[in-house]
Amino acid sequence: MARCFVTRELPGDAIERLRAAHEVEVWGKRLPPSPDELRVHTRAAEGLLCLLTDRVDRELIHAAPDLRAISNYAVGSDNIDLHAAAERGIPVGITPDVLTEATADMAFALLLAAARRLVEADADARRGEWKTWEPARLLGQDVHGRRLGIVGYGRIGRAVARRASGFDMEILHSGRSGGVALETLLESCDFVSLHCPLTPATRGLIGEAQLRRMRPRAVLVNTARGPIVDTDALVRALSEGWIGAAAVDVIDPEPPPADHPLFDAPNLTVVPHIASATHAARERMANLAADNLLAGLAGRPLPAVATAD
């Protein structure tokens, strides 16, 4: 039996499956372990099942001499130093595919919420502002028949496009799979939805210059990773009216402090990184993460492995 550390309780029976084969310690607190705590609990581990909020850097990997497999409970791996893991011959698992549809649902839900000002309307109704029917109150943007730009046309980007087709939206896309130039997409689209992975090339991809290219009533949606967007630039874009609205599931930093300026920006819909938060999706993620760790500890190929660029 191998010693495993799991950095959070997981939905479903994934942890029980791990315990049937190995000795498993689970971090039982709601907040994640601090970097020092993570290092202490990983030091003697042979298997690590971590979350995207856990920074698994070179120092941590080198401080765990027995570590043989890492499984990340996330579609991406930007929280893990893949080069350091590769140098040690440690495979790193991820959980793609299983959260595609749930994330695409959330992206389109955010798009609709921002376009039709649903959060603002709900707040008005609860405050007693619903005094009469007013022709010019809470006017939003049409979604049907408008142009949607998708940045990153992989599994999730294509799933969003399928949903948009039901609204007769025209689709432009930009990314490694081709499509139009990013500048053309930003200038041409009424809605822009981000679905690219976080890499050195995409960090800060949407900054002041890109936001200024967008249409004055355009809506930016981000369900990918927070650092893809320059948060300070987004605050200015919303406050100064460069764009019409933004709807985000992820921001930088994450989690943000309660007094972060983004929360004071107008026309912003923000939710706390819950795009994959359905019972089915999160349980599928947990099962795949467990499968990855079990395979790695057994010396078998991982069902879904991350590779260093």
Provide the annotated active-site residues: 225, 254, 273
What whole-number distance in Å separates Cα of residue 67 and Cα of residue 70? 8
What whole-number distance in Å separates Cα of residue 117 and Cα of residue 134? 15
Task: Using only the alpha carbons of the chain, give its radius of gyration.
Answer: 21
What whole-number distance in Å separates Cα of residue 65 and Cα of residue 84? 13
Tokens encoding 43: 């030091």
- Give the CA angle between residues 146, 192, 205 to the nearest 5°: 160
Distance of CA 267 to the CA centre of its chain: 21
What whole-number distance in Å separates Cα of residue 142 and Cα of residue 151? 21
Tokens encoding 237: 């874009």
* Residue 270, beta-bridge partner list: 248
- Give the CA angle between residues 143, 268, 170 to the nearest 5°: 20
The DSSP result for 80-91, as a single string, is B-HHHHHHTT--
| 142 touches 191 (CB < 8 A) | no
- Give the CA angle between residues 237, 243, 246 to the nearest 5°: 85
Cis peptide upstream of residue 261 (ω within 30 degrees of 0): no
What whole-number distance in Å separates Cα of residue 38 and Cα of residue 18? 19
Cis peptide upstream of residue 253 (ω within 30 degrees of 0): yes
For 194, the 3-state DSSP assignment is: strand
